[in-house]
């Protein structure tokens, strides 16, 4: 199983086959090396995680995934958005998939929206599919749309002239 090291011995004997180099046996295409790498599937990058001690003020936009554990005061747009159990988001969230374990104060737009038992949402949810677990807290309206990620539905929101919109427009601080 284990044998004496053969480092100091001369080259391989005629009966031994030399060790193959670590390179690929497939020859590279005649084009540049980037052409060869382009055909290989790309690994999906991991989600960006905003830690529990982080406060972000401003909007965020990505085509990737975000996991929020801290507090965000602003709108978020992502592919997969996960709101952690201790997280708070004050603003509109928009993603293909939205998983809410924490608190959102604002509108939620998503193809798939899931409120877990620890979720707390204060705002409207516009979705294609939705799941609300027992124990989730939700105050607002739910509307199904085939394409909830389009922002055309904003025209249906009341303008600032009515008294009813002023009551829910600004979250109270406290």
Residue-wise pLDDT for 71-81, tens only, equals: 999 999 999 99
Q: Does 128 fall in a domain?
A: yes
The tally of domains found in the chain comes to: 1
Q: How far apart are CA 68 and CA 71, in angstroms?
A: 7
Q: Which residues constitute the domain of residue 62?
A: 48-148
Taking a C-beta distance cutoff of 8 angstroms, is the pair 90, 73 a contact?
yes
Confidence of residue 39 (pLDDT cuts 50, 70, 90): low
Q: Does 5 fall in a domain?
A: no
Q: Does 62 fall in a domain?
A: yes
Chain length of the chain: 174
Supply the mean pLDDT for the chain: 78
Q: Does 19 fall in a domain?
A: no
Residue 42's pLDDT is 77
């Amino acid at each position: 199983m284990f044998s004496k090291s053969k480092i100091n011995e001369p080259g391989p004997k005629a009966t031994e086959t030399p060790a193959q180099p670590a390179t690929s046996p497939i020859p590279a295409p005649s084009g540049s090396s980037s052409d060869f790498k382009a055909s290989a599937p790309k690994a999906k990058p991991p989600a960006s995680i905003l830690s529990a001690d982080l406060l972000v003020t401003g909007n965020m936009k990505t085509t990737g995934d975000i996991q929020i554990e801290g507090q965000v005061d602003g709108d978020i747009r992502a592919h997969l958005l996960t709101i952690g159990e201790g997280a708070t988001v004050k603003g509109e969230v928009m993603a293909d998939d939205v998983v809410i374990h924490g608190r959102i104060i604002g509108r939620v737009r998503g193809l798939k929206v899931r409120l877990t038992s620890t979720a707390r949402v204060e705002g409207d949810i516009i979705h294609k599919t939705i799941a609300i677990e027992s124990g989730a807290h939700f105050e607002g309206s739910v509307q199904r749309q085939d394409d909830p990620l389009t922002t055309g539905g904003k025209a249906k929101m009341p303008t600032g002239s009515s008294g009813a919109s002023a009551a829910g427009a600004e979250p109270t601080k406290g």
